[in-house]
Structure 1
Amino acid sequence: MKKIGFFSALILPALLVLGVYLGGAFQWLIHGFVFVLVPLMDYLIQKDTHNVPAKEVSEVTKERFYRLITFIWVYVQLAVLVWGFYVVATYSFTLLEWIAFTSGVALVTGGIGITVAHELGHRAEKIEQFYAKVLLMTVCYMHFFIEHNRGHHARVATPEDPATSRKDESFYAFWWRSVTEGYLSAWHLEAERLAKKGLSKWSHQNQMIWFQLFPIFFAGLSFGIFSLLLERLVWEVPVFFFTQSVLAFTLLELVNYLEHYGMERKKLSNGGYEKVTPIHSWNASQLVSNFLLFQLQRHSDHHAYAYKRYQVLDHHDQSPQLPAGYSAMIILACFPPLWFAVMNPRLEKWKKVQLAESVQ
């Protein structure tokens, strides 16, 4: 039954398409599902704290079914985006309808698409890395492939990590810091990689150069094709593409914000930090949202064991636990006073427990 649950991500594009063709208030169907129905189901349905038995992990890891779902999603997302170009180029939307549609597409490309790209980007297989880059190209955030794997995972829960939110830092302050510093960090990491090979950072082997060009080329090609087909300059296509991209990676940064809020690793006498363990990221084991997000909410286990595929990630009781799934917590993060009121006491309580355990 759990296998079928991972197909629930396909509900989002289905609701997006249905909303457009029904029109009116139905265009908000996908938003209602993500931010109302999913949190409600998360609240009503028992949490999933079941882990794959150790003796079955190897077998479940190798099952092709779980990879197939992520591969299918790549083509679904590309189809949704091309269809989105057609819609904005041919429909007469009011401003509110355009906002509903563009943000709805971002829930698909950012909410699910970047989650899948995150999963695939951690894999060693070339085809999975390629698919990860394709998905990130569709949201203009290809540098995430470098910064997340080589930067964030090494520096998580430290002041050096742009993607770790600080205690009492609002999401809006975090967004600017994470987006700008993460981007610059990716350039630095890529320059370091090339320097070790004796190459200039302006070498054609610099992935960051290509990562800037691919989204622009994709947008330009789409603009050209639709302009030819409709016999006019379809300016709506690039405006829509870049707007949904910003909204999509904003969703990613919201997730980053709540996954690592206030987390700190101890600094050691040698200047380094203690090893990353399951206590250094917030965890959430709400069943429904974990299906939608390919168990991304078991984030504490992912950071402790990044090589593990999503289907075998574990729940850890000792990990700090979010009070709700990501859908609800994202809404909360948009209102800093409410976020601080809910999360700061939990953070301080968790820190006291960790301090008491370390003394023992």
Structure 2
Amino acid sequence: YFNLPIVYVLVVVSLITVTTTTLETYEFVGLVLSVGIVLGVNGINVAHELGHRQTTNERFIGKALLLPALYMHFYIEHNFGHHLHAATKEDPATARYNQTVYGFWLTSVFRQYGSAWKIQNRLLKNNNQSFLSIKNDMLWYTILQLTYLIIVFAAFGVTGLIFAFFAGVIGFILLETVNYIEHYGLLRSKMPSGRYERVREIHSWNSNHLIGRIVLYELTRHSDHHYKSSKKYQILDCHDESPQMPYGYPTSMVLAMVPPLWFAVMNKRIPREMVSA
């Protein structure tokens, strides 16, 4: 929970710094990258964990952590979309075999946003609510994020707005890089009924490397997270059947930035039946 004040204090202090101090371009860019990484790790990553919790307060904190990363729709798409469609071609957050991380950033960001609206509209329809209903969370997320940017602009000017916007972009790009490596190339089989098999341990890449486990709040034990999404990160298990990454998540994210190396390391580890699926 302490990540909430950490994130917001860091954003405010950084905004004050970039608007009251003369910075070289490389210093400004470096600060954007640094704050963006915090928004991704301490913001979106922690929001992901809290978004699966059962209490309203925990979910509220999770959504508040998504706000400065401009990614509040993640709550809807991840919980009602990704966990239903993970490791299928219907899932925007599952990277295809031989898809580069750069191509994935584009497809995942835009498809997830569109998917979140589709899910929201379906939820409204199922509850006999109109688009302008107070229950339209996507509408609220849009209003809140625009209000956040307007407040930043009013208080810190164009420089502050540019800083806040691009720090948010770096934050969700970091998230999407994690998404890329989590399910890369892994696909569920379709049964004769046309439905997909249940998500199993073999449909997520796992890693027991210590640094990644600590930094990402055990997100690296991803198979167990999909097995029971409400399970708290402290008690997630490692399954022997799960495909294992040769490196930790942080190293794997860097490796993914060089597609030929990523393909050389990872493609041979993907089961043949999934490649041809």
Normalising by the residue count of structure 2, what TM-score does the alignment of the two structures yield? 0.96
- Corresponding residue of 2:20: 90
Q: Which has the larger radius of gyration?
A: 1
Quick one: distance in 1 between partners of 2:111 and 2:151? Answer: 30
Matches within 5 A, 1:347-358: 347-348=270-271
Quick one: distance in 2 between partners of 1:327 and 1:91? Answer: 32
Q: 1:111-138 CA deviation, whole Å, 9 max, x = no partner?
A: 2321100000001100011001101111
- Corresponding residue of 1:209: 139
Quick one: distance in 1 between partners of 2:127 and 2:272? Answer: 47
Quick one: distance in 2 between partners of 1:312 and 1:339? Answer: 30
Conserved in 1, the CA contact under 8 Å of 2:225 and 2:231?
Answer: yes
- Give the residue type in structure 1 aligned to 2:37: L
Q: 1:281-321 CA deviation, whole Å, 9 max, x = no partner?
A: 00011112211111111111101111100000001111000
Conserved in 1, the CA contact under 8 Å of 2:188 and 2:274?
Answer: no
Shift of the alpha carbon at 1:349? 6.9
Secondary structure (helix, strand or coil) at the match of 2:109 reads helix
Alignment partner of 1:274 is 2:197: yes
Q: 1:259-279 CA deviation, whole Å, 9 max, x = no partner?
A: 000011110111111111211
Matches within 5 A, 1:224-243: 224-226=154-156, 234-243=157-166
Quick one: distance in 2 between partners of 1:340 and 1:146? Answer: 31
Q: Alignment RMSD, CA only?
A: 1.4
- Corresponding residue of 1:341: 264
| The 10-residue stretch of structure 1 (217-226 or 76-85) with the greater mean CA deviation from structure 2 | 217-226
Quick one: distance in 1 between partners of 2:132 and 2:211? Answer: 45
Q: 1:328-353 CA deviation, whole Å, 9 max, x = no partner?
A: 1111111111111111011147969x
Point out where structure 2 has 5 or more consecutive residues left out of the alignment: none
Normalising by the residue count of structure 1, what TM-score does the alignment of the two structures yield? 0.74
- Give the residue type in structure 1 aligned to 2:256: A
- Corresponding residue of 2:105: 175
Quick one: distance in 2 between partners of 1:349 and 1:194? Answer: 41
Conserved in 2, the CA contact under 8 Å of 1:190 and 1:201?
Answer: no
Alignment partner of 1:81 is 2:11: yes
- Corresponding residue of 1:64: none
Conserved in 1, the CA contact under 8 Å of 2:7 and 2:42?
Answer: no
Structure 1 moving runs of 4+ over 3 Å: 348-352
Matches within 5 A, 1:146-165: 146-165=76-95
- Give the residue type in structure 1 aligned to 2:119: L
Alignment partner of 1:133 is 2:56: no
Conserved in 2, the CA contact under 8 Å of 1:219 and 1:237?
Answer: no
Alignment partner of 1:109 is 2:109: no
Point out where structure 1 has 5 or more consecutive residues left out of the alignment: 1-70, 227-233, 353-360
| The 10-residue stretch of structure 1 (143-152 or 106-115) with the greater mean CA deviation from structure 2 | 106-115
Shift of the alpha carbon at 1:97? 1.0
- Corresponding residue of 1:196: 126
Conserved in 1, the CA contact under 8 Å of 2:82 and 2:91?
Answer: yes
Quick one: distance in 2 between partners of 1:266 and 1:221? Answer: 48
